[in-house]
Amino acid sequence: MEQFLEIIINFINQIGFWPLFVLGLFLSLFLFWKESYLHKDRNSAFDMWFFTILFAMFWARLSFIIANWGLFESLPWALAPYERYGEDIYFFRLLPWRFFDLRDGGFLFTSIFSAYILFAFLYNIFVKRWNWREMFLPVILSAEVLLVFVLIVYGALVGLPDVVLGGFFIGAVILGFLAIIMFLRFMLKKNYLVDILPGLINFVVMLFILVSFALITRLFLSYDISLIDRINVFVMNLTGVILAFYFIFVEKRKKNTRESVILGGGRRSVIMNVNKPFKKKNGED
């Protein structure tokens, strides 16, 4: 295991943070887009991801500045975004331009995750007005995969093998969860155990949220993190509870169904309601 971690860390250090971070963004977008495509038009789903990640990055940068104000408070302010000394020109070293200089990698990763899931939920409910049961998995999966990617890359660059290992472990939990969900979806599409599978899938989704959030929280709190990081972790868990509650109770009551689950099938979204019997082609029950 130590040899494997050493190989990963050396490989990441050779590439650098930003190329891998951009790759993580595209991976997050791919998962969000693919899962959303089962229920929504791709163009319509893309703007939700775009504004969500934009807000998450903004809050991650702002929270970094707040948490590390000592790095900025002594810098002078200037109207121009550059300084010139003879033949040498330096960009974004003074305020307010230094706030936008992302070359320092100045983000709080707790902020990215907590802001991502919170903003996506609010955007889905109040702007898109979509069924949250359809968008729950795209949001959670794309957020957690992005966080795992960032943890592995950041841990490797700053020399924290425990963070890298924690990222891989959370990633393994995500893959295991996806395998279980895909199997249960396959069973339900084949009309096996239709009386219990919808509820079982809902239970697996909630269990995944509980386990993955607990692992993420434990990983963050095992280090001496800033106060704003701790606030982000609290917001993350509070948001997770709200998302789960809304998933289980609110929209189920609105639809007046005892059990329902979203199944992906090409461009169509199939909502299975086990209260209603299946009908044969001739219209008979």
Query: Tens of pLDDT along 95-136?
Result: 998 888 877 667 888 888 999 999 999 999 999 888 887 888
Q: Percentage of the chain with pLDDT > 70?
A: 85
What's the rounded Cα separation, in Å, for the pair 231 and 254?
32
Please, what is the average pLDDT of the chain? 81
146 and 112 in contact (C-beta within 8 Å)?
yes
For the entire predicted model, the pTM comes to: 0.80
Query: 36: which 2 tokens?
Result: 């959303």
Instruction: Average the pLDDT over each of 91-105, 126-140, 245-259 and give the range with the smallest value.
Output: 245-259
> Quick check: bond before 198 cis, omega within 30?
no
Instruction: For residue 57, give the nearest of 22, 91, 27 by alpha carbon.
Output: 22
What's the rounded Cα separation, in Å, for the pair 120 and 249?
19
277 and 285 in contact (C-beta within 8 Å)?
yes
**Rounded mean pLDDT, 49-56:** 93
- Ordered by start, the domain boundaries in the chain are 2-68+108-270, 78-105
126 versus 5: which is more confidently predicted? 126
What's the rounded Cα separation, in Å, for the pair 226 and 274?
48
The size of the chain, in residues, is: 285
What's the rounded Cα separation, in Å, for the pair 43 and 282?
38
Confidence of residue 269 (pLDDT cuts 50, 70, 90): very low
Beta-sheet strands, E only, within the chain: 82-85, 88-91, 260-265, 268-273
**Rounded mean pLDDT, 211-228:** 90
Residues 147-190: tens digit of each pLDDT: 998 889 888 888 888 999 999 999 999 999 889 988 887 887 77
- State the pLDDT at residue 194: 72
